[in-house]
Amino acid sequence: MEPMGLPEPSLYTVKALLVLDSCGQRLLAKYYDGSFPTAQEQAAFESNVFSKTRGAGGEITCLDGLTVVYRSSSDLLFCVVGGPQENELMLSAVLGCLCDALGLVLRKDLEKRWLLENLDGAFLVLDEIVDRGVILESDPQRVLQRLGPRAPRGHGREPQLVEADLPAEAQVHAPGALRQPRRPRRRRPRG
């Protein structure tokens, strides 16, 4: 027998993922239910989120009856929005995964400029973490693995693939396969 007043558990835990700039303008947003059906309602909610979290020292707030977990970087604000009864730790894990996975994809600091130059990759990351409000992944390394060849190439140095990045089977069957071949030495002319 279920106690009265407790909501039924649901997999649909995330209502929205938001990335706002330092002025509160939307850079990325995904809404997963009908809480904010129109663009005007979404913009008003985003404005409220920005004004409530700007300069605040916390990481969690309640706004319009929703739980908002947020994190700021140099000029970006990342938010995960859940229902009023959602587990803040779960939403915080999604937020951490989002920020870390975007950092890995961009291969730079999380800044507006790099995010705008790699919006396609950012949307891929969002889609791998949450689908229609259901949390799919909370490990940023697994998100990148799932993106595979679809992962965009960010600016900056290319990461070096090392044996530790390979599955254990590949390390056993082909040890040293990723080591750079030795370059032949140049002979100095005698003279």
Q: For the segment 116-173, what is each residue's pLDDT rounded down to a tens digit? A: 998 999 999 999 999 999 999 999 999 999 887 666 555 443 444 444 444 554 444 4
Q: Which domains does the chain have, with CATH numbers?
A: 14-150 (3.30.450.60)
- Tell me the pTM: 0.74
Distance CA 155, CA 119 (A): 13
User: In DSSP terms, which residues pair with 145 in a beta bridge?
Assistant: none
Q: Which two tokens stand for residue 182?
A: 């030795």
CB 42 within 8 A of CB 31: yes
Question: pLDDT tens digits, residue range 35-73?
Answer: 999 999 999 999 999 999 987 777 999 998 999 999 998
- Residue 142 belongs to what H/E stretch? helix 140-147
Distance CA 102, CA 94 (A): 12
Distance CA 33, CA 68 (A): 15
